[in-house]
Each structure stands twice: as structure tokens, then as C-alpha cells.
Amino acid sequence: MRHLRRTDPQRLLSTLRGLVLSVCGLSTLLLGSPGHAWEASIERDALGVPHIYGKTDADMAFGLAWAQAEDGWEILEETLPYYRGNAASFFGRDAAVTDYLIQWLGFWDVIERDYDVLLKPATRAYLDAFAAGFNAFAAQHPDRVSLDVLPVTPQDVIAAHMFRHLLFYGFDKTLTDLRAETRQFDISDAPALPNSGITLGSNATAIAPSRSRDGSTMLMINSHQPLTGPVSWYEAHLQSGEGLNVMGGLFIGAPALGVGFNEHHGWGATVNQPDLVDVYVLDIDPEDDNRYRVDGDWLELEAFDIPIKVLLWGWLPWTVKEKGYRSIHGPVMKTDHGTYAVRYAGIDEIRQVEQWLAMSAATTFTEWQAAISLQHIASFNFVYANADGDIHFIHNAMMPERAAGWRWDQYLPGNRSDLIWQRYLPMADLPSVTNPPSGYVHSANQSPFRVSSAGSNPDQASYPQESGWPTRMTNRAVRGLELLDANPAISFDDFNAIKHDNAYSPRYRGHAYLSLVAKLEAIEDDEAQAIALIREWDLHTDVANRHAALGVCVLLEEWQAERTGDSLPDARETLHKCMLSVRDVSGRLDPEWGTVQRHGRDNRTWPAAGGPDTLRAMYAEQLDDEDDFMTVVAGDGLYYLIEWTAEGEQIIRGTHQYGSQMTDPSSPHYLDQAEAFAVETMRAPGFHIKNRSERSRLYQVSDR
């Protein structure tokens, strides 16, 4: 039986915000589709990871979709309605908020208008083949199809990229603020721009030959995601007769890698959240709330219907009609405290796929930079390294070119056309550094001006202050920088140890709050025991550590307050809250960390080191009130360490949190990497495959 737990729509919405290869374990699949020449081979290694080949890129895309469907059709099927804006008709009224958002933002109007105009013919051909792969699989496996979502279309793929990316850079927070009972920000009338916060994770690090022990270049690719669901990592190796040969991670339903590598180079991505959303307070005509003033002229809001079909009881549909509005700024929201227009990075942009494909196709640093320069991807830091010894960091963003002197982190007056930006900053105006003197770059969701040692960072004074560059420093950033600074000759083993480091730095912001709790005077015996455990904690989260449970809990309280902008909770209240929490889970104040935090799923788990905001990133929840442990649900997933030696050899090690099969517990690949992942054992992922065909099991699927 397939593993498919119908996702709570609110949880899914918030979520939308990877053994040495054994040749004898390979199987090959030839695929075809009616009326087309699409044909691909899929070879699965001993761990089930698909290695996909097509004569053309489109052939390969067809095979990629088929492999994704084999391993996670249910994920694709369940998320398509959200991207289409009709999820409420499948999942009920709780999904209506997403349907409203999709239609309010006008994604499908933009896709209909621009798909044939802006996308290159080669991109459209690629997406045609990709969508056809899903449809061909569904036609031949009707037992896997449970929702009326067919056919999958190329436009679905575009809509998914448009929606997902907004949530990665924090667009949902803007909507939350607008829906509050009162106005959340003043209207700007002065300069001085504070930073915007970062709430999501990921690590990426590059080491140049000058910093390595033996002249190697090294790259860590370690993007953090939920471990299950629509934005959990899926691993694939993609090859075509047109020259593509790349391996890495992507999401089910995505046609191109998000992180990856080839023989020549590789790149990792980390979430960045500069200020990419602007809100304008419209000057509304008191006699007509559909008229607004700009530069002294009255303009009419564009009004449109938003029909939302809601499934009420099993079969009974109900259609609700909401009203949507747009101004020349962007989509408009009417509230009790004002009428607001929203303008955001990537508004009306449908070409994200083209940039991801260009990044995968690149084989030189110049080609990869040209792909980045397309500027179709609204955010993400990128860390790059190649076999020639080049390393690079860029705080990539579709950064609006804004008028100087305004508080762009506040709301803007909507009656001035000069504040309605029309362009993005060129790549030269985004924080970046190439081959710094330090010999390394390290990105962990921190300030883009502190990604290396002193003298090797981008100079903040050289970049526009109106852009709201983040200034926050995560523990992963602080700890990573101090470990890298301390080692002038980094070996591959050293690099591996840094990636799996599970400690909090005493220089980390949260340590001050931990110290505050540790300095409390005990009032009772239980407090004395808890305070002693916190005082004696070495800040590590190894599985045998008996101090980590309380210490991590205290740091989480500070972390949550900081990321939400709330005041720090009272130290003694936090102490008691954490004492209760640790006891509720484990029955004692000093459990071994590996008994509290475990990795796995479906009642098969293993002790796991690491913790929230450590380089060994683990975010855990108590999934069932009856559990006496917490299960890791996000953080480290698919990750790689790559080395290009001075002798020209490429060494690759990687792992995936569970395995290649994402939805079927009966598959041997549903959990076959989980134990190795938990004990931090990495594998060679089979990028360099030899003699694959002679002993491969061959079968054909063709309906031409």
C-alpha cells in the first residue's frame, strides 16, 4: 500500500515555503510517448537513485518526470491543485486561502499571456516532454492515480515555480501583516533602513586550493528542507546526448536541479531574505473606494472575480465568489485599516525554469555566471567552486531598483509614481566575492557581508542601503566561520568534520540568553539540577550528551523570539518551560540526546546528533503525544561534499535523509539510507558510472 497521508492544507501551505554504486544493481527503462520521439533510459543504482539518459534534453526530461512519478507520484498529484488555485475543490475550505492567493496574484493570467511569448522554443519543448512523462506514467499506472488532476501541463510546472519561490523569500509574512487587525508599519518619510530577518536555513561552503592542505578545491552543498513533502529533496543524475551531465537535488515536479554538480564545477544554494516586497498605502477617493490617486490623477482599480469552488462534505461542491483588485503597483488588498497594493520581486516572472536549466547546462564558470545573470530567480545565495580552483559567492536577488532616501522596510505612499520601481539592480550591484584572499566562502543564511574572514568580504558600503540586506548572524554562520578561520590547511576529512559539527558557538547571539538562564539562583532542588546541567553543557549535541536536551530547549526559546521579533521570555519561565518539556518527552532532566532526538519515519528511527541552527542541522518535533522522543522533520537532507584534487581527480561523497522512494514504505529504497544518514556515513553517489549496460536489467515501456 502506498504511503499517502492527506496533508493538512495549512501545513502544506507552510511547507511550500539526498554505498558505492553496484553495477549489477542497475536496471534500465526505455520510455516513449504517443506521437513523439521522446525516449529515455533510467538506470537505478543499488540505492534506487535514478541515472537518466536521453538523446536530447527533451528525451531526458521525459525520463526525469517518469522517474519522479515512480518515486513520488502522490506528492505531485496532491500539490498540483494548490498551484492551479483549485485546491479547495479537492481538500475543502481550509485550502481556499491558497486558491485565493493564486488567483489574487494572477499567476495563470500571466502564464496565459506570456508562455508562448517569453519562453524560448527549446524551453517549451523541454517542458512539453517533462509534462508528457508524468501523463504517460499515469496512463500506464492508473492504480497510482486517485485525484482528478490529469493531464499535467507545462504551465503547471511554471505555476509551481512562481508560487514556491515567493514563500522561500518570505512573501507570506507580508500577507500576514496586511491581514492583521491594525496597520503594522508606518508610512515611510525618512531614510535609515534596518535589516530584514532570515528565518529559513541552508549551508554552502567552498574552499580554494590556497586554503586546502594539498591544493584541492572543495565544495559543500547542504540546503536544508523539510524531510518529506513537496519541497523535500529528490536526487537524480541527468544526462543527454546534447552534452548535459549533472547530478544533484530537485523537488518532485521540478524539471531542473536546484543544487548540483558536474565534472567541472558545482553549486549550493542557501535561502536569503533581503527586502523583496514593497507595500503601498493607496490614497482612496472617499466618495468611491475603487478610485485611487497617483501624481494627482484619479485612477480606477481593476476589479475581477475570484471564484473558489469548495468541497464541503465528501461530494458536495460550493462555489464562493470573492473580489480581487489590482492597481498599477500590483495586487491590491482592502482592509479595515486601509487599502494596500503589493509589489514584489519576480512579479509576473515566468522564466525561472530557464535559469535553472542554464545553470545545469553550464560547464565553465563563465557559462554559469551567464546563467546567473539571466536574473529570473528572485532570491537565493549561491556558492560555487570548480576544478580550476575558482570559488565564488553571490547574494543573488531580483533586487528592485528603488528611489533613494525612503524607508523601504516600512509602507510607501501609493500616490507617487516615482516609487513604483520598474527595474532590478544589475548583477554588479549585488554583494558577491570571487576567489577571496582568505581562500574560502561560507554561506549559512547570514549577512552577505560576513561570508569569509576579515578583508575577504563584500564591502557593505558599496551596495545600495535601500535594498535591506540582511545583517543577522546564525549559529551556523558564526560556528562555521570560526572553524574555517582556525584551520589554514583544510583536508577533506577536516571539511567533513566541519560539515557534521554539532556545536553552538559561545560567540553565537543566543549564548548570551543561555548564560542568563545558567546564572539563575536555584529556588528548589529540581531547578538546581537543571541549572547545573545548563552551566556544565559543552554546547555540543552529540548523541551521548546528557546536557543538550535542556540547553537546546533554552536556545530555541531565544531563537523563536529573535526570528519573530518578540521580546526575550523571562529566564526563569524558560527554565521551567524547558524542564517540563524535557521531562514530558523523556521522563528525566538529563536524557542522552540521542534518546530524545531520533531520525527516521514510520516507526523506524535511529539516534541523531545535531540540533537547530547547528552545522549538523536537525529540527525535530514530537509527532505523537505518545512518543518518548522527537523525530527530525527538517534540516539536513540531501547533501554532498565534493573535492577536485590537485591531480585532477573528482571525489564525491553524499547522502540522502531516507532514500530515493518517497511514498512507498514497501520499497527497499524508502528508508535504505536513513541509518547511514543518522550516523553521518556518506557514500559515493555514482556520478561516474562504468560499464553500466552489460549487466543491466532492461525492459521497455512504449505506447507509440
- 159 in any annotated domain: no
Residues 472 and 545 in one domain: no
Most confident of 37-46, 617-626, 635-644: 635-644
535 grid coordinates = 552551566
How sure is the predictor about 180, in pLDDT bands with cuts at 50, 70 and 90?
A: confident
Q: Domain range spanning residue 522? A: 510-635
d(CA 109, CA 115): 10
Cβ count within 10 A of residue 608: 30
Look at 142-156, 394-408, 676-690 and tell me which has the smallest mean pLDDT: 676-690
Task: Point out the domain boundary residue: 619, 635, 651.
Answer: 635
Residues 483 and 585 in one domain: no
User: How many structural domains comprise the chain?
Assistant: 2
Calculate the CA dihedral of residues 212, 213, 219, 224 and round it to 10 degrees. -100
Residues 611 and 547 in one domain: yes
Residues 475 and 438 in one domain: yes
User: Which DSSP letter does residue 290 get?
Assistant: E
**What whole-number percentage of the chain has pLDDT above 70?**
89
- 688 in any annotated domain: no
- 471 in any annotated domain: yes
d(CA 540, CA 551): 9
Is residue 1 classed exposed, middle or buried when 0-12, 13-18 and 19+ CB atoms within 10 A define those classes? exposed
Q: Output the pLDDT for position 178.
A: 73
Residues 574 and 630 in one domain: yes
For residue 619, pLDDT beyond 80: yes
Q: What residues contact 428, with CB distance under 8 A and at least 6 apart?
A: none
What Å distances lie between residue 665 and 315, 597, 668, 672, CA to CA?
A: 30, 22, 8, 11
Residues 399 and 483 in one domain: yes
Q: Is the dihedral of CA 564, 566, 568, 569 positive or negative?
A: negative
User: What CATH number did the domain enclosing 234 receive?
Assistant: 3.60.20.10
For residue 244, pLDDT beyond 50: yes
Q: Output the pLDDT for position 316.
A: 65
| Average pLDDT along the chain | 89
For residue 606, pLDDT beyond 70: yes
User: Which DSSP letter does residue 536 get?
Assistant: T
243 grid coordinates = 552534452
Q: Output the pLDDT for position 177.
A: 75
Q: Output the pLDDT for position 6.
A: 38
For residue 508, pLDDT beyond 80: yes
Residues 543 and 614 in one domain: yes
Residues 546 and 517 in one domain: yes
Residues 486 and 378 in one domain: yes
The single-letter code of the amino acid at 634 is A
User: What CATH number did the domain enclosing 553 receive?
Assistant: 1.10.1400.10
d(CA 140, CA 366): 43
For residue 112, pLDDT beyond 60: yes
The answer to whether 110 and 348 have CB atoms below 8 angstroms apart is yes
- 53 in any annotated domain: no
Q: Is 153 helix (H, G, I), strand (E, B) or coil?
A: coil
Strand partners for 699: 29
Which residue's entry shows cell 536577488? 397
Is residue 40 classed exposed, middle or buried when 0-12, 13-18 and 19+ CB atoms within 10 A define those classes? buried
Residues 364 and 245 in one domain: yes
Q: Output the pLDDT for position 198.
A: 31
**Whole-prediction pTM value?**
0.91
Residues 481 and 610 in one domain: no
Task: Point out the domain boundary residue: 499, 528, 552.
Answer: 499
Omega within 30 of 0 (cis) for the link into 151 = yes
